[in-house]
Amino acid sequence: MSSTHFEQFRKNLAVRVEADISTSYREITKRLNKDYWNGLESDSQHCLQVGSYGRCTAIHGVSDLDMVFELPAKDLERFQKVEGNGPSQMLQEVKRCLEVRYPKTKLSGDGQVVVVEFDKFRVEVLPAFYNSDDDSYTYGDTHDGGSWPKCKPRHEIRSFNERNKTSNRNLKRVCKMLRAWKDTHGAPMSGMLIDTLTYNFFKENADFDSKSYASYPTLVKDVFAFLANRPSQDYWLAPGSNQRVASSGKFQRKAKKAAAKCQEALDADTDKKKEKLWREVFGTRFFPAISTEKSYQQSATFRQTEEFIEDKLPLDIRYDLDIDCEVSLAGQNEARIRWLESKFFWLQLNRKLRFYVVSCDVPKPFQVLWKVRNVGQLAENKNQIRGEIVADEGRLEKIEWTEFQGPHFVECYVIKDGYCVARDRIDVPIGAH
């Protein structure tokens, strides 16, 4: 496996709507500068790009973009003196200012930010006040009657850039690759949590500081093992700021599975097997250029019916979804697939499979979708690879049968407010009688 594979993978992850993103940042900044800074005609002053895009760890398909807009210090005193919830009134005022520029765009203000919903992404604007004494920002939080906490995004960006430099730029590259894994397998991790834990890995593993793409097979395997061994806890501390980064679910099981798959790829005896296994870890964006992937689908001898959630909806994986499957014969339950996974099993034919949602922490209401994909020569010969994405019928379950051999899989997606916010997958290897 040459370094070209991982280098191409990193290129495939590059954000391809940078011009649109830049325009959105500039237009929002220009509007707010005009209203809050005495008619200032600037589309760059008082704006700080933060979040994954600001840290340069975002990948194509990023749905949340974050920015801090600095308000004049006199306005902090003004909002602190108003009756009622000062932060809420500040957000509503900023929202009204942006409505002048975006009269037909959905805007909302709640919590700490004003959200501007564009077609391809949303921008979360944090109105804040700069503190020169400690290089921090004071911002408003509308919860519990309103408060004025501090954040230190500049500290985080500096620490992240310094660690990226000492790690030969491997830090940010691995952060991007982990986002592809998260989106593919539905690991419930925020972008900030991925960046924080990856930062901690490089802080504790200086041996990789001088490594290049040729070392990435071992590097990413060790990163997944590092994630799998993290203790279950409510939060971690962000680099630079030491502010709390909340854990949104249990990612350790999926990281452990990814580490095992990486080891399989390292042990594989041909490049073809290695590439297949790496694509199982990171998804369809691993190695082949996008045009190559499309040409492969067009030249396939079987009818290509598979659909991809990435092509239908933007991904914003931030919640935990866990699915399982009951295996039964003639009405008698035999086992559950999650338990069988540890046995290196192959299911027998003519079994009934009931895939169902075990747990889901997405706030209601939401929509559930399913995908059943048959893999292998028999599926291709029969033109039954399937792979269409279909709606749940309201029971949070999907009934299937083991009809022919092959390494099949089933995926489940949870959709909320037009975004895929959680996903999970079960592999279904079917053998003979």
If DSSP states are collapsed to H, E and C, what string results for 179-227? Answer: HHHHHHHCCCCCHHHHHHHHHHHHHHCHHHCCCCHHHHHHHHHHHHHHH
Residues 174, 200 within the same domain: yes
Q: How many domains does the chain have?
A: 3
Regarding whether 100 and 17 lie in a shared domain, the answer is: yes
Residue 61's pLDDT is 86
Q: Rounded mean pLDDT of 148-153?
A: 97
Q: Give CA–CA dist 392/375, Å, rounded.
A: 22
C-alpha 47/C-alpha 38 separation (Å) is: 16
Whether residue 353 contacts residue 426, with contact meaning beta carbons closer than 8 Å, is answered with no
Quickly state the pLDDT bin for 234 (edges 50, 70, 90): very high
Average pLDDT across the chain, whole number: 90
More confident residue, 341 or 53: 53
Domain boundary among 299, 327, 342: 299
Angle made by CA atoms 342, 181, 9, in degrees to the nearest 5: 125
Which range is least confidently modeled, 109-123, 129-143, 170-184, 394-408?
Answer: 394-408
Residue 273: domain span: 158-299
Domain stop point among 265, 299, 333: 299
Question: What are the residue ranges of helices labelled H in 240-305?
Answer: 252-267, 271-282, 290-299
- Identify whether residues 37 and 136 lie together within a single domain: yes
CATH number at residue 90: 3.30.460.90
Q: At 312, list the tokens.
A: 């239908």
CA distance 432 to 378: 12
SS3 286: coil
Q: Clarify whether residues 242 and 262 are in a common domain.
A: yes
In a shared domain, residues 293 and 308: no
More confident residue, 316 or 8: 8
pLDDT in tens, 38-79: 999 999 999 999 999 999 999 998 888 999 999 999 999 999
List pLDDT tens digits, range 271-306: 889 998 999 999 888 976 544 344 444 445 667 888
**What average pLDDT does range 82-98 have in this prediction?**
95
Q: Domain boundary residue among 279, 299, 319?
A: 299
Task: Let me know if residue 227 belongs to a domain.
Answer: yes
Shared domain for 111 and 165, answered yes or no, is no
Residue 319: count of CB within 10 angstroms of its CB: 19
Is there a contact between 401 and 391 (Cβ–Cβ < 8 Å)?
A: no
Shared domain for 347 and 364, answered yes or no, is yes
Residue 298 pLDDT: 45
Same domain, 116 and 168: no
Q: 134 or 428, which is more confident?
A: 134
> Do 140 and 197 fall within a single domain?
no
